[in-house]
Amino acid sequence: MVRSLAALISILALGACATPAIQPPLTPPPGFAGPALEAQALVMDDGARLPLARWAPDGGEPWAVVVALHGMNDSRAAFRLAGPWWAEQGIETWAIDQRGFGEGPGRGIWAGETRMAGDLRTAVALARAHHPGAIVAVVGESMGGAVAIAAFASDQPLQADRMVLLAPAVWGWTAQGPVNGAGLWITARLMGDRAVDVPEWAVRDRIASDNRVELFRNGRDPNSILSTRFDALYGLVDLMETASMRLGEVRVPTLLLYGAKDAVIQKAPMRQTLERAGERPGLRTGFYPDGWHILNRDLQAEAVYRDVAVWLRDADAPLPSGAGPVLPVLRAGD
């Protein structure tokens, strides 16, 4: 009887907890003229300005435009190495700070899957309008890859020609396990607005790259977020669940790249995601034996840049690195 009463009280207490926070909708300012490309920002459909880093080829029109999305707690600087390299190949890169990150609106507060996918949709439309003759591609790193999958698989697909996923974040609820999932579900409601640093042991065990100089720079970049709110983590897992379940619904040619040394998005959830996606036409994968999580900033990142550039030009061409399919390697590792 006492245990039953305690359980009932716990359930009622949880029912009274706050819903994990999401950034509220914005109201466009008076006289708002709609989405636009500015020198240092993309203006969204609600008037929000997302800071923009842009790398363009010298002279002439680009043959391809990449709309680039960073990972969790990162910023547009995630593409500061890839952007200039691609520009030398005639590819223009637009890297934005997504809402809640970098210098974007609502820093630290989760914007929600619908809003993030909507921002990507607007960014792609702007890229298409400014370069109508170019191949328009979305390149998403980690969380950015999850946003890309959610947007492409939605009932409002993007006006883009290609999708590139760099170690996409697919560690959703299904792969979290009951203990992790229940713990985060409760914590996000009881202490959602509390931000916590990543424990030292977790950082040590989940190194994101072999490029220690870049990790050092990123950790000291004021646009990086070092303390994460519990409700933002909850939103991320929600987004990752969508990405893990809906990759197979994407209809544009897709290149998914993954490294053997990725300690952030580990092999089991990646394997589950690819198995759910099945043999979808146009889905191609590349496995890097020396690749880590942030593939576009690893010491072997130039191999990734080159593979992406060649694939954007011809989705059927061999990858210069020789990277083979991901799923057979993950299955063989069992």
Cα–Cα distance for residue pair 53/68, rounded to 1 Å:
10
CB 295 within 8 A of CB 304: yes
Residue boundaries of the structural domains of the chain: 35-332
- Among candidate residues 90, 91, 86, 109, the one with its CA nearest the CA of residue 99: 109
Percent of the chain with pLDDT over 70: 92
**Considering only 1-10, 19-28, 76-85, which range has the smallest mean pLDDT?**
1-10
17 — pLDDT class (breaks 50, 70, 90)? low
204-233 pLDDT, tens per residue? 457 999 999 999 999 999 999 999 999 999
Take residue 3 and report the two structure tokens written for it.
Answer: 């245990």
Q: What are phi and psi of 54, to 5 degrees?
A: -130, 130
SS3 308: helix
| Strand ranges of the sheet holding 283-288, from the earlier edge strand across to the other edge | 36-37, 41-43, 49-55, 91-96, 64-69, 135-141, 162-166, 254-259, 283-288
Q: What are phi and psi of 215, to 5 degrees?
A: -65, -40
Take residue 143 and report the two structure tokens written for it.
Answer: 């969380």
DSSP 328: H
Mean pLDDT over 7-19 rounds to 51
Percent of the chain with pLDDT over 90: 87
103-141 pLDDT, tens per residue? 999 999 999 999 999 999 999 999 999 999 999 999 999
CA angle 82, 88, 90 (to 5 degrees): 100
Place of tokens 């010491």: 299
CB 246 within 8 A of CB 153: yes
Whether the per-residue pLDDT at 266 is higher than 70: the answer is yes
**The pLDDT of residue 334:** 64
Query: Which residues have C-beta within 8 Å of that of residue 21, sequence separation ≥ 6?
Result: 109, 110, 192, 193, 229, 231
333 — pLDDT class (breaks 50, 70, 90)? confident
Q: Which fold has domain 35-332?
A: Rossmann fold (3.40.50)
**The pLDDT of residue 5:** 37
Query: Which residues have C-beta within 8 Å of that of residue 331, sequence separation ≥ 6?
Result: 271
CA angle 235, 237, 239 (to 5 degrees): 70
**The pLDDT of residue 9:** 35
**The pLDDT of residue 199:** 52
DSSP 26: P
- Among candidate residues 62, 81, 140, 94, the one with its CA nearest the CA of residue 305: 81
**The pLDDT of residue 166:** 98
Whether the per-residue pLDDT at 175 is higher than 60: the answer is yes
